[in-house]
Structure 1
Amino acid sequence: MPKRFPPVHALVAFEAAAHSGSFAVAANQLCITPSALSHRIRLLEEFVGDRLFIRDGRAPALTPFGRSYLDVVCTALQTLTDFPMPGRASPAQPRIKLTVPPTFARYLLLPKLAGFTAAHPDIVVDVFLSVPLYDLSLSESDLEVRFGAGRYPDLETVKLMEEPAFPVASPAYLERIGGIASPRDLSKATLLRSALEPWKSWFEVAGLDWQEPATGLRVDDLGLLLEAVRLGQGVGLTRQHFAQEMIDRGEVVELFDIRLASPPHAYYMVYEQGAKRRPEVQLFIDWLLAAYSAT
C-alpha cells in the first residue's frame, strides 16, 4: 500500500497559525482567506486523526497533541527550506527575528547589538517592536524579550535582568510643587501611572499604606513615562538603565534612597522549544544571556 503523506499546504497553514496565534493573521501571511486556512487545518486534523487547536471563541490554542506535532512539522519544513537547491547560488543567509519592547530596544539592546553583529556578520538580525503586557503570542518571531511577570505557559522563559525601581521627578516640577522631602510628601504630587511599573509595591517598601493611584496620566511605555517625568508632568517610577543619562544631565533626580529591589516585572527572554535547533538562534540566545548576565 502506498504511503499517505500530509498535504504540504496544510502543514504550512498549521505552522503559520500556531506561530501567529491567530487564524486571521496566519491567513493574511499566506495570502489566503481565513476560511481557506481553517479548511486546510481541518484537512490536516482529519489526516492525523486528532485535534490540533482548541477553538473556544478566543484566540486558538494548541492542544497537547498539537504542540508535539508542531515540533515535528517545524523540523520538517525547516529541513525542506535548508536543503541546497541546484538553482540557488548560495545557501539562504541565517536570519533571526527578534521582538522586543520599545524601551528595551532603545536603551538596552541597540547599545549592545553591534557586538553581536560584529562577531557574526553572516547573521541578519531583524528587530520588531511589541507592546509589553499586550502582545502575548510569539507571532512569527524566533524569540522575544518580554517585560512582565514571567508567566508564559508552554514557552521557554529565561529571566534576562531585574533592576530596582525608584521614583524620579524633574527639578522644575519639584520647585513648582514646593519640593518633596519624604515619601509622604508624594501626596501633593501627581503620580504618573503605568501597568508596567505599579506603585503599590514601592509604597509598601517606603512604609506607606497607600493604594495604587487611580487618577493621573497613564503611560504603558517605560520610555514615554520617563519622558513625561522629564517634561515636568509628575513623579514616575523608573530604573537605572533608563534614567541614568537623564540623572547625569540633571534633567531628573532620584527622590529618595528607597528602592524596590524586586519589582513585579522584569525582562524575560521567551522562545518556543524548537527555536534552539537553529544554530543562529542558539548563538543569539547565548549572546543575550552573556550580554545581560552581569547587568
Structure 2
Amino acid sequence: MASRLPPVHALSAFEAAARHGSFAVAAEELCITPSAFSHRIRLLEDFVGERLFLRDGRSVSLTEFGRRYLDVVRGALSSLADFPLPHRYASTQLKVKVTVPPTFARYLFLPHLHEFMALHPEISIETYLSVPLYDMSLSETDIEVRFGAGKYPDIVTEKLFREPVFPVASPAYLEQIGKLNVPADLQKAQLLRSALEPWQPWFEMAGLDWQEPSTGLRIDDLGLLLEAVKHGYGVALTRQHFAADMIASGEIVSLFDLQLTTPQHAYYLVYDRHVRERPEVALMLDWMMERFSTQRLSL
C-alpha cells in the first residue's frame, strides 16, 4: 500500500528556513511571498503533527523534533538533487509566470504578447487567470495584473494605464426601448450591473442624482458584460479597448458622448520587489509597462 509523502515544496521551505533562521530570507530565496512561505511551513507541521520552529520575533529556531527531522529531510533532498538525469537540459529554461484577469488577457495581453516573445524567444511564458476584486494574494506567480482600486499593501503597485468609462447598448435594444438622447433617458433602460464597473461614479459625472442599481442582471466579467450588451440585455458601462471592435462592427453603440475619465477601478501591475532581481522577470515588467502605457495603447 502506498504511503502518504510530505509535499516536496514544503520540505524545501523547511530546509531553507532552518538554514537561514528566517522565514523572510528563505521566502526570498524561493521567490515566493512570505504568506505563501508560512503556508508551506504550516502544511508540513500539520503533516508531521509536530511544531518544527520556535518563533521569536523575526527570527526562528528549530524545535528538538525539528532538528531531528531536518537531518532526514536534508538527506532526502540531497538524494533527489544528486540523482543523475542524463536527459535533462544542461541549462534551466528561463520562465516568467504572469497572472491576468480574463478580459485583459483576451483583449490586451494575448494580442500583443507575440511582440515580447519575438524579442525574447529564450523566455518561456506561463499565463494564469485571476478573478478581479477577489484574488488578493500573489500566491506563487511572478507578475500579476489586477483590476481594482490599486490599494495593495506590502507589494509593488504600478498603474498600467487610465481608460475612460462610457455606456453602450446594442442597436436592436435601442429600437426596442426607443432612443436614449440624454442620460436621464436611462430611466427606461435596463442597466446591467457589475462590481467591476459601478454606475454611481458615472451618474455623478452625468449630473444624475441616482443610486447604484440593485436589481437586474449582474455580470462580474467585463468581457461577458459586453456580450450581454451585444445580445440586447440592456445598457452597460465599458472601456474603449474592450469595446472598440464591437463598436466598429456596429454590434454596439456608444451613448451620449459622455465619459468618466477617472473611474473607480483601473489595471495595475503588482509584484514582490525581489522578483525584479531576475533578469527575465525585469524584462517582462519593463515590456508590460511600455506596451500597455496609455500612449502605446492608443497606437
What is the TM-score with the length of structure 1 in the denominator? Answer: 0.78
1:50 aligns with 2:57: yes
Q: 1:35 aligns to what?
A: 46
Flag the 1:117–1:17 CA change in 2: closer, same or farther, 3 A: closer
Task: Quote the offset at 1:20 in angstroms.
Answer: 3.7
Q: Which AA in structure 1 matches 2:14?
A: A
Q: 1:64 aligns to what?
A: none
1:283 aligns with 2:274: no
Cα distance in 2 for partners of 1:38, 1:155 equals 33
Q: Which AA in structure 1 matches 2:52?
A: L
Q: 1:188 aligns to what?
A: 188
- The Cα offsets for residues 96-152 of structure 1, whole Å up to 9 and x where unpaired, read as 000000000000001110000011001000000000000001011001000000000
Cα distance in 2 for partners of 1:279, 1:20 equals 23
Cα distance in 1 for partners of 2:162, 2:13 equals 43
Contact kept, 8 Å, 1:21 with 1:138, in 2: the verdict is no
Cα distance in 1 for partners of 2:84, 2:44 equals 33
Equivalent residues in 2 for 1:174-253, closer than 5 Å = 174-253=174-253
The partner residue of 1:18 within 34, 41, 48 is: 34
- The Cα offsets for residues 66-105 of structure 1, whole Å up to 9 and x where unpaired, read as xxxxxxxxxxxxxxxxx9x996642211100000000000
Q: 1:146 aligns to what?
A: 146
Contact kept, 8 Å, 2:33 with 2:138, in 1: the verdict is no
Per the alignment, in what secondary structure is the counterpart of residue 191 of structure 1? coil
Task: Quote the offset at 1:214 in angstroms.
Answer: 0.6
Flag the 1:37–1:250 CA change in 2: closer, same or farther, 3 A: farther
Contact kept, 8 Å, 1:180 with 1:186, in 2: the verdict is yes
Deviating more after overlay: 167-176 vs 9-18: 9-18
Task: Quote the offset at 1:21 in angstroms.
Answer: 8.0
Flag the 1:209–1:282 CA change in 2: closer, same or farther, 3 A: same
Task: Quote the offset at 1:38 in angstroms.
Answer: 8.4
What is the root-mean-square deviation of aligned Cα atoms in Å? 2.9
Per the alignment, in what secondary structure is the counterpart of residue 116 of structure 1? helix
Flag the 1:37–1:123 CA change in 2: closer, same or farther, 3 A: farther
1:105 aligns with 2:105: yes
Cα distance in 2 for partners of 1:178, 1:37 equals 68
Cα distance in 2 for partners of 1:109, 1:18 equals 28
Contact kept, 8 Å, 1:19 with 1:138, in 2: the verdict is no
Equivalent residues in 2 for 1:55-66, closer than 5 Å = none
Contact kept, 8 Å, 1:21 with 1:137, in 2: the verdict is no
Per the alignment, in what secondary structure is the counterpart of residue 232 of structure 2? coil
Per the alignment, in what secondary structure is the counterpart of residue 52 of structure 2? helix
Per the alignment, in what secondary structure is the counterpart of residue 292 of structure 2? helix
Q: Which AA in structure 1 matches 2:257?
A: D
What is the TM-score with the length of structure 2 in the denominator? Answer: 0.77
- Point out where structure 2 has 5 or more consecutive residues left out of the alignment: 1-10, 18-22, 61-80
Per the alignment, in what secondary structure is the counterpart of residue 145 of structure 1? strand
Cα distance in 1 for partners of 2:93, 2:286 equals 20
Cα distance in 2 for partners of 1:93, 1:19 equals 27
Task: Quote the offset at 1:35 in angstroms.
Answer: 1.0
Between structure 1 and structure 2, the one with the greater Rg is: 2
Q: 1:73 aligns to what?
A: none
How many residues are aligned here? 252
- Point out where structure 1 has 5 or more consecutive residues left out of the alignment: 1-6, 54-82
Task: Quote the offset at 1:50 in angstroms.
Answer: 2.9
Cα distance in 2 for partners of 1:200, 1:96 equals 38
Cα distance in 1 for partners of 2:193, 2:145 equals 22
- The Cα offsets for residues 15-39 of structure 1, whole Å up to 9 and x where unpaired, read as 467354883xx58xx9x66713885
Contact kept, 8 Å, 2:33 with 2:140, in 1: the verdict is no
Per the alignment, in what secondary structure is the counterpart of residue 275 of structure 2? helix
Q: 2:67 aligns to what?
A: none
